[in-house]
Amino acid sequence: MITELTGLDVSNASLLDEASAASEAMFMAYNVHNGMRNKFFLSKHIFPQNIEVVKTKANGLGIELVIDEPANFPWAKAEEFCGYMVQNPDNLGNVTDITEVAAQLKEKKIVVTVIADILSLTIVKPPGEMGADIAIGSAQRFGVPMGFGGPHAGYMAVKDDFKRKMPGRLIGVSKDVHGDKALRMALQTREQHIRRDKATSNICTAQALLANISAFYG
């Protein structure tokens, strides 16, 4: 469901909520450039809680955040930025088609993320069709109750090129059809074997429950 609505190739559920998904998307953009670009652009109209969590993650990683109007993106210094993030609808209720901007950012090899209200994507142009590399958000709108503060239903979808950078990935040893040793990548929904600072996603609740609730609601 997530891939169809976002217009992207691969989705995963190993995320706590929208805000932590935003911080993971920033970290992915940083990793795509192998830490060689340490600036990240955030629209000032992203939900405040998303900005605050991204700030916390950026501080620990040494990433410099630039928070401003999207129209004020510093194109003269574009090569210093690993990523660019906007929200649809944003904190003012505006929905913006970033297709042209995304194409220009791609020329500068900047990873584009759209925080998208998943229910709005039934009528709004999907992030993937706008040229976004990553779409994130909350599936709470799909019938998941708040449940006394949790669980939340964070989601992430990416284009196929970025699947090996996603949070929650797990590489295991298997055998191919010829009986030879092979490596297999799985995208899990919860890290039972969590390794704290070495983990590839945050510690969170089992997402199968939320997936089933959303499916019934849909």
pLDDT digits (tens, 9 = 90+) for 72-128: 999 999 999 999 999 999 999 999 999 999 999 999 999 999 999 999 999 999 999
Q: Which two tokens stand for residue 128?
A: 């993937």
Structural domains in the chain (count): 1
Q: Cβ(14)–Cβ(191) under 8 Å?
A: yes
Radius of gyration of the CA atoms of the chain, in A: 17
So what's the pLDDT on residue 2? 83
pLDDT at residue number 24: 92
- pLDDT value of position 166: 83
What's 130-193 look like in SS3? Answer: HCCCEEEEECCCCCCCCCCCCCCCEEEEECHHHHHHCCCEEEEEEECCCCCEEEEEEECCCCCC
What is the predicted pLDDT for the residue at 143? 85
Q: Which residues of the chain have pLDDT under 50?
A: none
Q: Is omega for the bond preceding 48 within 30 degrees of 0, making it cis?
A: no
Q: What CATH number did the domain enclosing 86 receive?
A: 3.40.640.10
Which three-class secondary structure state does DSSP give residue 68? strand
Provide the residue range defining the domain that includes 132. Answer: 2-217
